Structure 1
Amino acid sequence: MDDNTNIRAVRPDEVAAYIDPLADVLIDCVEGGASVSFMLAISRETAVQFWADVARSVMRDERTVLVAEDAKGRVLGTVQLIIAQPENQPHRADVAKMLVRRDARRRGIAARLMQAVDESARSAGKSVLVLDTVTGGDAERLYHRAGWERVGSVPNYALMPDGTSCGTTFFHKQLR
């Protein structure tokens, strides 16, 4: 556990300043093999555009971006809570893009981000959370330890950054 890491939601009025550091985290994770919607070689332009789109979504109050920062303010990780859902699912949110820099892993940061996303969801009035992850990856253990329930897997659902096929496992969590 890294007690010097601060986990917090990025405010809409400051989210634009986080685009570049979040792009750094995304690039690091994709280059490390994370299947998070992007392929190698991910360009800086692609990563910045993704986070610029996310920033606009934050400003529209459609999602929350949580960050883990070290004592110097360096972004070590992030996760998103997508709160804008269809009219018949006002109680649900999606958890997306759980990313921790490779040099910051195995310090409890992802677990703390998952705790913070639960708190953020409760604050937003959400009681059902869903997410998906690469089948057989380290994240499956993280989500299980954080109280998530496995729904099932779909073989060949996505591609790894190098183009190889991978399955995707779906999880849900009922907040009480």
Structure 2
Amino acid sequence: MEPGDRLGLLAPDAVREHADGLAALLVDAVDGGASVGYPAPLDPAEAAAWWAGTAGTRDVWAAFGPDGAVTGAVTLLRTATANGRHRGEIARLLVHRSARGRGLGRRLLAAAEAHAAATGLTLLVLDTQTDSPAERLYRGAGWTAAGTIPEYAADPEGTLRATTLYYKLLA
């Protein structure tokens, strides 16, 4: 990490406060071809509205560069069903293209995993586009591929792509 990069769990008010920076991160991901739920081009206002809407519904970690710009983020969504309170989902692990290659994705993922374990979760799940660079990160962090679903989601250009489901036992 470069000096000055910092990472933290954001309170709901802080998520709303940083919605524009988080939106720029999401737009960068879509522009870079990441399949994160949006077609390209993604309107920054739509991206900011998504982040503002997550405040209080999921845990959000953000990384900030030396200049205060958002350089990465990850969210943890808890399962609300009575029989699933032991599990959570990692979603939208994003690292700005200008901040890649410094271990930021691994740090964000580790922070979310540690928090999940400390708050009683024992199982995490996630999905990612098959053959994406993210798969190397997840496998290297001890995640297990559970299976692949063909034509699961469209990439930013609209092409249907396979998705691989992953899980990690925390206890």
Mark yes or no: TM-score above 0.5.
yes
Match of 1:20 in 2: 20
Aligned with 1:171 (options 154, 166, 171) = 166
Corresponding position: 1:65 with 2:60: yes
Match of 1:10 in 2: 10
| Letter in structure 2 aligned against 1:140 | E
Corresponding position: 1:75 with 2:87: no
- For residues 52 and 67 of structure 1, the distance between their equivalents in structure 2, rounded to whole angstroms, comes to 14
C-alpha deviation, 1:84, in angstroms: 4.1
What secondary structure sits across from 2:82 in the alignment?
Answer: coil
Whether the 8 Å contact between 1:63 and 1:84 is mirrored in structure 2 is: no
Match of 2:95 in 1: 100
Runs of 4+ in 1 over 6 A off after TM superposition: none
- For residues 28 and 127 of structure 2, the distance between their equivalents in structure 1, rounded to whole angstroms, comes to 20
C-alpha deviation, 1:72, in angstroms: 2.7
Provide Cα deviations, 1:69-99, integer angstroms capped at 9, x if missing partner. 1223211000000124211111100000011
| Letter in structure 2 aligned against 1:69 | F
- For residues 12 and 46 of structure 1, the distance between their equivalents in structure 2, rounded to whole angstroms, comes to 18
RMSD (Å), alpha carbons: 1.2
- For residues 72 and 49 of structure 1, the distance between their equivalents in structure 2, rounded to whole angstroms, comes to 24
- For residues 114 and 15 of structure 1, the distance between their equivalents in structure 2, rounded to whole angstroms, comes to 18
Match of 2:36 in 1: 36
Q: Give 1:69-148 correspondences, 5 Å limit.
A: 69-148=64-143
- For residues 63 and 163 of structure 1, the distance between their equivalents in structure 2, rounded to whole angstroms, comes to 27
Provide Cα deviations, 1:34-82, integer angstroms capped at 9, x if missing partner. 0000001111221111111112xx2xxx310001112232110000001
Q: Among the aligned pairs, what percent are the same residue? A: 40
> TM-score normalised to the size of structure 2?
0.95
| Letter in structure 1 aligned against 2:47 | A
Q: How many residues align?
A: 171
- For residues 142 and 16 of structure 1, the distance between their equivalents in structure 2, rounded to whole angstroms, comes to 28
